[in-house]
Amino acid sequence: MIHKELRVLVDCVIYTVLVFVATIIIQIQTPATGGYLNLGESMIYVAAILSSPLVAGIAGGVGASLADIVTGYSIFAPGTLVIKFIEGLVVGLLFSKLSKLRKFSFITGLALATAFSLVSIYIGLLGIEITLGYGDYIINISFQPVVWVTIAFLVFLLILAISCMERGLRNVKVISMICGGSLMVLGYFLYEFFISNPLTGREPMAALAEVPGNISQMVMGIIIALPLVEFIERASRR
Q: Answer left, alpha or beta for residue 27, where phi above 0 means left and psi between -120 and 50 means alpha.
A: beta
Q: Write the pLDDT tens digit of every residue in 104-120.
A: 556 666 676 677 767 66
Q: What percent of the chain has pLDDT over 90?
A: 49
- Tell me the mean pLDDT in the region 39-44: 97
Could you tell me the sign of the dihedral formed by the alpha carbons of 119, 124, 126, 130, in that order? positive
CA distance 182 to 177: 8
Whether the per-residue pLDDT at 151 is higher than 70: the answer is no
Identify which of 59, 42, 81 has the alpha carbon closest to the alpha carbon of residue 195: 81
Give residue 31's domain range.
Answer: 2-236
Of 216 and 1, more confident: 216
Residue 4: CB atoms within 10 Å: 8
- Tell me the mean pLDDT in the region 182-193: 90
pLDDT of residue 232: 93
Contact (CB, 8 A) for 71 and 24 = yes
pLDDT of residue 211: 85
Contact (CB, 8 A) for 70 and 25 = no
CA distance 45 to 177: 7
Whether the per-residue pLDDT at 142 is higher than 90: the answer is no
pTM of the model: 0.78
Residue 4 banded pLDDT, cuts 50, 70, 90: confident
- Alpha carbon 172 to its chain's center: 16
Q: What is the dihedral of CA 5, 7, 10, 14, to 10 degrees?
A: -130
pLDDT of residue 125: 62
pLDDT of residue 108: 66
CATH of residue 131: 1.10.1760.20
- Tell me the mean pLDDT in the region 214-230: 92
CA atoms in the 13 A half-sphere facing the CB of 147: 14
Among the ranges given (107-121, 127-141, 176-190), the one the predictor scored with the smallest mean pLDDT? 127-141
Burial of 178 by CB count in 10 Å (0-12 exposed, 13-18 middle, 19+ buried)?
buried
Identify which of 119, 124, 106 has the alpha carbon closest to the alpha carbon of residue 160: 106
- Tell me the mean pLDDT in the region 123-131: 58
Whether the per-residue pLDDT at 139 is higher than 60: the answer is no
Residue 134 banded pLDDT, cuts 50, 70, 90: very low
Q: Write the pLDDT tens digit of every residue in 44-96.
A: 999 999 999 999 999 999 999 999 999 999 999 999 999 999 999 999 998 99
Q: Answer left, alpha or beta for residue 31, where phi above 0 means left and psi between -120 and 50 means alpha.
A: alpha
Whether the per-residue pLDDT at 178 is higher than 70: the answer is yes
At position 140, the amino acid (one-letter code) is: N
Return the beta strands (E) in the chain as ranges: 28-30, 35-37, 128-134, 137-143
Whether the per-residue pLDDT at 157 is higher than 80: the answer is no
Mean pLDDT of all residues belonging to the chain: 83
Domain count, the chain: 1
